[in-house]
Amino acid sequence: MTKNGTNPPHNRTRAEQKEQTRRAIVDAAFRMLSADHSYANLSLREVAREAGIAPTSFYRHFKDMDELGLTLVDEAGLMLRQLMRQARARIARGGGSVVRTSVETFMEFVDTNSNEFRLLLRERSGTSKAFRSAVQREMMHFIQELSDYIRQKTHSNHKSALWEADALVTIVFNAGADALDLPKAQREELSNKVIQQLRYVTRGAEAGRK
Protein backbone atom coordinates (compact mmCIF):
# COMPACT_ATOMS: atom_id res chain seq x y z
CA MET A 1 0.00 0.00 0.00
CA THR A 2 1.14 3.48 -0.79
CA LYS A 3 1.07 6.08 1.95
CA ASN A 4 0.80 8.62 -0.83
CA GLY A 5 -2.93 9.30 -0.58
CA THR A 6 -3.95 9.68 -4.19
CA ASN A 7 -4.67 6.58 -6.25
CA PRO A 8 -3.04 3.29 -5.35
CA PRO A 9 -1.05 1.84 -8.23
CA HIS A 10 -3.89 -0.36 -9.51
CA ASN A 11 -4.56 -0.10 -13.23
CA ARG A 12 -1.60 2.21 -13.75
CA THR A 13 1.56 1.42 -15.54
CA ARG A 14 4.73 1.54 -13.54
CA ALA A 15 5.97 4.53 -15.52
CA GLU A 16 2.82 6.49 -14.77
CA GLN A 17 2.94 5.71 -11.08
CA LYS A 18 6.61 6.54 -10.86
CA GLU A 19 6.15 9.85 -12.57
CA GLN A 20 3.27 10.71 -10.27
CA THR A 21 5.32 10.06 -7.15
CA ARG A 22 8.20 12.03 -8.58
CA ARG A 23 5.92 15.00 -9.10
CA ALA A 24 4.55 14.59 -5.58
CA ILE A 25 8.10 14.94 -4.29
CA VAL A 26 8.89 17.97 -6.41
CA ASP A 27 5.64 19.70 -5.50
CA ALA A 28 6.10 18.89 -1.83
CA ALA A 29 9.56 20.43 -1.90
CA PHE A 30 8.27 23.64 -3.48
CA ARG A 31 5.45 23.79 -0.95
CA MET A 32 7.90 23.64 1.95
CA LEU A 33 9.89 26.66 0.84
CA SER A 34 9.02 29.94 2.50
CA ALA A 35 10.45 33.11 3.99
CA ASP A 36 11.85 31.15 6.92
CA HIS A 37 12.58 27.82 5.30
CA SER A 38 15.20 27.62 2.57
CA TYR A 39 16.00 24.64 0.42
CA ALA A 40 19.39 24.49 2.08
CA ASN A 41 17.91 23.67 5.48
CA LEU A 42 15.22 21.41 4.11
CA SER A 43 15.73 17.78 5.04
CA LEU A 44 15.08 14.69 3.02
CA ARG A 45 12.74 13.47 5.72
CA GLU A 46 10.71 16.67 5.70
CA VAL A 47 10.19 16.40 1.96
CA ALA A 48 9.22 12.74 2.24
CA ARG A 49 6.76 13.51 5.01
CA GLU A 50 5.13 16.29 2.98
CA ALA A 51 5.01 14.12 -0.13
CA GLY A 52 3.39 11.31 1.82
CA ILE A 53 6.07 8.70 1.23
CA ALA A 54 8.59 6.90 3.39
CA PRO A 55 12.02 8.55 3.66
CA THR A 56 13.62 5.57 2.01
CA SER A 57 11.36 5.80 -1.04
CA PHE A 58 12.93 9.12 -1.88
CA TYR A 59 15.98 7.30 -3.20
CA ARG A 60 13.91 5.56 -5.88
CA HIS A 61 13.56 8.96 -7.58
CA PHE A 62 16.55 11.09 -6.65
CA LYS A 63 19.95 9.96 -5.51
CA ASP A 64 20.41 13.09 -3.42
CA MET A 65 18.73 16.18 -2.09
CA ASP A 66 21.11 17.93 -4.50
CA GLU A 67 19.59 16.18 -7.48
CA LEU A 68 16.10 17.23 -6.40
CA GLY A 69 17.30 20.77 -5.79
CA LEU A 70 18.73 21.10 -9.26
CA THR A 71 15.40 19.95 -10.66
CA LEU A 72 13.65 22.66 -8.69
CA VAL A 73 16.07 25.31 -9.93
CA ASP A 74 15.48 24.25 -13.52
CA GLU A 75 11.72 24.35 -13.13
CA ALA A 76 11.74 27.73 -11.41
CA GLY A 77 14.07 29.22 -14.01
CA LEU A 78 11.93 27.92 -16.85
CA MET A 79 8.81 29.29 -15.22
CA LEU A 80 10.34 32.74 -14.99
CA ARG A 81 11.62 32.81 -18.53
CA GLN A 82 8.29 31.70 -19.97
CA LEU A 83 6.57 34.50 -18.11
CA MET A 84 8.97 37.11 -19.43
CA ARG A 85 8.60 35.81 -22.98
CA GLN A 86 4.86 36.20 -22.70
CA ALA A 87 5.36 39.75 -21.48
CA ARG A 88 7.54 40.62 -24.45
CA ALA A 89 4.98 39.07 -26.78
CA ARG A 90 2.29 41.22 -25.20
CA ILE A 91 4.46 44.30 -25.70
CA ALA A 92 5.14 43.36 -29.33
CA ARG A 93 1.39 43.24 -29.95
CA GLY A 94 1.45 46.88 -28.99
CA GLY A 95 1.06 47.23 -25.25
CA GLY A 96 2.77 50.06 -23.43
CA SER A 97 6.31 50.77 -22.26
CA VAL A 98 8.83 47.96 -22.52
CA VAL A 99 10.58 48.81 -19.29
CA ARG A 100 7.46 49.32 -17.22
CA THR A 101 5.72 46.20 -18.53
CA SER A 102 8.78 44.05 -17.93
CA VAL A 103 9.23 45.30 -14.42
CA GLU A 104 5.59 44.79 -13.59
CA THR A 105 5.65 41.27 -15.00
CA PHE A 106 8.71 40.41 -13.02
CA MET A 107 7.25 41.82 -9.83
CA GLU A 108 4.12 39.80 -10.43
CA PHE A 109 6.24 36.67 -10.65
CA VAL A 110 7.94 37.53 -7.37
CA ASP A 111 4.55 38.11 -5.80
CA THR A 112 2.73 35.00 -6.99
CA ASN A 113 5.69 32.61 -7.02
CA SER A 114 7.66 33.90 -4.05
CA ASN A 115 9.02 30.52 -3.10
CA GLU A 116 10.30 29.75 -6.56
CA PHE A 117 11.97 33.15 -6.66
CA ARG A 118 13.43 32.68 -3.20
CA LEU A 119 14.94 29.42 -4.33
CA LEU A 120 16.82 31.12 -7.16
CA LEU A 121 17.76 34.05 -4.97
CA ARG A 122 19.18 31.95 -2.16
CA GLU A 123 20.87 29.19 -4.05
CA ARG A 124 22.62 31.75 -6.23
CA SER A 125 24.87 32.39 -3.24
CA GLY A 126 24.46 29.06 -1.48
CA THR A 127 27.06 26.54 -0.37
CA SER A 128 26.70 24.20 -3.33
CA LYS A 129 28.78 25.07 -6.36
CA ALA A 130 26.41 23.02 -8.53
CA PHE A 131 23.43 25.06 -7.35
CA ARG A 132 25.21 28.35 -7.87
CA SER A 133 26.14 27.34 -11.41
CA ALA A 134 22.60 26.20 -12.15
CA VAL A 135 21.11 29.51 -11.08
CA GLN A 136 23.84 31.38 -12.93
CA ARG A 137 22.92 29.42 -16.05
CA GLU A 138 19.23 30.29 -15.70
CA MET A 139 20.10 33.95 -15.32
CA MET A 140 22.40 33.81 -18.30
CA HIS A 141 19.54 32.51 -20.44
CA PHE A 142 17.44 35.30 -19.09
CA ILE A 143 20.08 37.93 -19.86
CA GLN A 144 20.73 36.48 -23.30
CA GLU A 145 17.09 36.73 -24.33
CA LEU A 146 16.91 40.31 -23.15
CA SER A 147 20.17 41.11 -24.89
CA ASP A 148 18.86 39.76 -28.20
CA TYR A 149 15.78 41.88 -27.76
CA ILE A 150 17.85 45.01 -27.14
CA ARG A 151 20.12 44.32 -30.08
CA GLN A 152 17.18 43.91 -32.38
CA LYS A 153 15.66 47.18 -31.14
CA THR A 154 18.74 49.36 -31.03
CA HIS A 155 21.30 47.80 -33.39
CA SER A 156 23.98 48.11 -30.77
CA ASN A 157 26.96 45.76 -30.81
CA HIS A 158 27.06 42.37 -29.10
CA LYS A 159 29.06 43.21 -26.05
CA SER A 160 27.40 46.46 -25.12
CA ALA A 161 23.91 44.95 -25.50
CA LEU A 162 24.95 42.03 -23.32
CA TRP A 163 26.37 44.26 -20.64
CA GLU A 164 23.35 46.48 -20.74
CA ALA A 165 21.02 43.49 -20.37
CA ASP A 166 23.20 42.18 -17.57
CA ALA A 167 22.91 45.45 -15.65
CA LEU A 168 19.16 45.60 -16.19
CA VAL A 169 18.62 42.06 -14.95
CA THR A 170 20.87 42.65 -11.96
CA ILE A 171 18.84 45.66 -10.89
CA VAL A 172 15.47 44.02 -11.42
CA PHE A 173 16.46 40.81 -9.70
CA ASN A 174 17.77 42.73 -6.74
CA ALA A 175 14.57 44.74 -6.50
CA GLY A 176 12.63 41.49 -6.48
CA ALA A 177 14.59 40.44 -3.44
CA ASP A 178 13.78 43.71 -1.70
CA ALA A 179 10.11 43.34 -2.59
CA LEU A 180 9.89 40.07 -0.67
CA ASP A 181 10.24 41.86 2.66
CA LEU A 182 8.10 44.86 1.74
CA PRO A 183 4.40 45.37 2.50
CA LYS A 184 2.26 45.71 -0.61
CA ALA A 185 1.88 49.45 -0.03
CA GLN A 186 5.57 50.15 -0.50
CA ARG A 187 6.05 47.97 -3.53
CA GLU A 188 4.81 50.54 -5.97
CA GLU A 189 7.37 52.99 -4.67
CA LEU A 190 9.98 50.30 -5.22
CA SER A 191 8.76 49.76 -8.77
CA ASN A 192 9.12 53.44 -9.50
CA LYS A 193 12.67 53.40 -8.19
CA VAL A 194 13.55 50.42 -10.33
CA ILE A 195 11.99 51.86 -13.46
CA GLN A 196 13.97 55.04 -12.98
CA GLN A 197 17.18 53.07 -12.41
CA LEU A 198 16.59 51.01 -15.53
CA ARG A 199 16.13 54.25 -17.47
CA TYR A 200 19.50 55.43 -16.19
CA VAL A 201 21.05 52.31 -17.65
CA THR A 202 19.29 52.40 -21.02
CA ARG A 203 19.97 56.10 -21.43
CA GLY A 204 23.58 55.69 -20.41
CA ALA A 205 24.05 52.80 -22.81
CA GLU A 206 22.42 54.74 -25.60
CA ALA A 207 24.67 57.73 -24.95
CA GLY A 208 27.64 55.41 -25.35
CA ARG A 209 26.39 54.27 -28.73
CA LYS A 210 26.34 57.59 -30.54
Partner DNA sequence: TATTTTAGTGAACAGCTGTTCGCAGGAAAA
Partner DNA sequence: TTTTCCTGCGAACAGCTGTTCACTAAAATA
Residues at the interface with a copy of itself (CB under 8 A): 35-38, 40-41, 118, 121-122, 124-129, 132-133, 136, 160, 163-164, 166-167, 170-171, 174, 177, 181, 193, 196-197, 199-205, 207-208
DSSP 8-state symbol, 12: -
Stretch 54-83 residues interacting with DNA (CB under 7 A): 54-57, 59-61, 64-65
Helix 114-123, helix 14-32: angle, nearest 10: 80
Minimum CB separation of residue 11 from a copy of itself in Å reads 43
Work out what residue 38 binds among DNA, a copy of itself, none; the CB cut-off runs from 5 to 8 Å by kind.
a copy of itself
Q: Is residue 36 involved in binding DNA (CB under 7 A)?
A: no
Q: Is residue 127 involved in binding DNA (CB under 7 A)?
A: no
Q: Is residue 9 involved in binding DNA (CB under 7 A)?
A: yes
- What count of residues does the chain have? 210
- Angle 46-121-57 (CA atoms, 0-180°, nearest 5)? 25
Question: Are the C-beta atoms of residues 118 and 42 closer than 8 Å to each other?
Answer: no
* Cβ partners under 8 Å of residue 144, min gap 6: 162, 165
Specify the residue, 83 or 140, whose C-beta has the smaller distance to a copy of itself.
140
